[in-house]
Amino acid sequence: MSRLRAWLLVAFLVLGLTACGDKKPVTSESFVFGTRVEVQVAEDVSEAKVRAAVAKVLAEFDRMHRTYHAWQPSELTQLNDALAAGKRHHVSKEMAELLLEAQAFSKASSGLFDPGIGRLIEFWGFHADSYAAQLPDSGAIKAWLNAHPSVAQLTITADDTGAWVSSSNRQVALDFGGSLKGTALDRAATILRDAGLNNALINIGGNVMALGTRYGAPWRVAIQAPRYAGPLAVLELHDGEATGTSGDYQRYFEVDGKRYPHLLDPRTGYPAPGVQSVTIVVDGPAAGERSDVLTKPLFIAGANDWTAMAQRLAVQSVLHVAEDGTVSVTANLADRLKFQPHDGKLPDIRRISP
């Protein structure tokens, strides 16, 4: 899918569904992390104050994007080059923290979330702005599987200014594409609250965090239908909640009629089959990061095992769409969703208790 199409898709979902009432939030847009970013602030303060705070948010997004870019020259590529050469490399405290968090998430998910598979992502052609309809060499995938690189194989030794990072496996290459947007949501929330702005909606390509309300009303966002242009359901987000979706419908290519998405299973070296999309809602500490990270192991776990993974990761609010279009939703989320008709019909919903 082209980035322009993805931009328009997100614009339809967020702008169309949050426009209600007389007051209009102050809205700012940008293009960062390879996707559309939008910040809406609903405060009775001067627009200048809002614009100044949002400018800091967007500047932080740009800094993070440049610092942790996985294939254009960045601090992250410097680390990857050092790991490939078998050398240890000094990183900032911020990067050391991200790496430690990544190791913890990887362990919690039995390795289904693993930012150490950057070389595999590159093999599949997803280290690019557009994706060629071409399968990687099967021998390269087999060799990668035999090496079994993982973020767990990093040795991180902290010092006063950051940490030294090394690995015995030269095939380890970091890619924070599965967590950086969520981390950015948490950073944005901190910046806005520090500026005295407590009512906002932050959207990074469909990863969304709500602060406060929209002039007293809940923030409303849509969950994209994986197989047609339009919302599957509408969700009201409460203060401090974040929602994230992993799906096979934006970053993918097709060969001989088969879809190959960017969500790769470290166990097989191939895109995870059997699922169209997984959406979760979380709150509490690091809600943004968790909303981004935890969709990946639930997606990769597959149609039969995602409920067990949700239990393992303590994710209680899940909307799951299987490859055949079957829609399942956890009981505590079902009553919060307003499912939307398509071709005059509402989807059949399975209510479950993971």
Domains of the chain and any CATH numbers:
3-67+178-352 (3.10.520.10), 75-167 (1.10.3980.10)
Q: From residue 331, give the alpha-carbon distance in Å to each of 29, 186, 246, 306, 325.
A: 35, 27, 20, 15, 19
How large a percentage of the chain has pLDDT more than 90? Answer: 91
Q: How far apart are CA 76 and CA 78, in angstroms?
A: 5
Phi-psi region of 206 (alpha: psi -120 to 50; beta: other; left: phi over 0): left
**Token couple for 205:** 């390509």
Q: How confident is the model at residue 354 (pLDDT cuts 50, 70, 90)?
A: low
Let me know the angle formed at the C-alpha of 92 by 91 and 95, rounded to the nearest 5 degrees. Answer: 85
Q: Token match 């500047």: residue?
A: 59
Q: Is the pLDDT of residue 9 over 80?
A: no
Q: What is the pLDDT of residue 62?
A: 97
Under the banding of pLDDT at 50, 70 and 90, the label for residue 177 is: very high
Residue 267 phi/psi, 5° resolution? -75, -30
For residue 2, pLDDT beyond 80: no
3-state helix, strand, coil in the chain (%, to 5): 35, 30, 40
Residue 10 confidence (pLDDT): 44
Contact 329, 319 (CB under 8 A): yes
Check whether 80 has a pLDDT greater than 90: yes
Taking only the tens place, the pLDDT of each residue in 105-155 is: 999 999 999 999 999 999 999 999 889 999 999 999 999 999 999 999 999
pLDDT of residue 21: 52
Residue 329 pLDDT level (bands cut at 50, 70, 90): very high
pLDDT in tens, 288-304: 999 999 999 999 999 99
Give residues with Cβ within 8 angstroms of 146, minimum separation 6. Answer: none
- What pTM was estimated for this model as a whole? 0.93
| Integer Cα distance of 81 and 79 in angstroms | 5
How many Cα atoms within 13 Å fall on the side-chain side of residue 307? 12
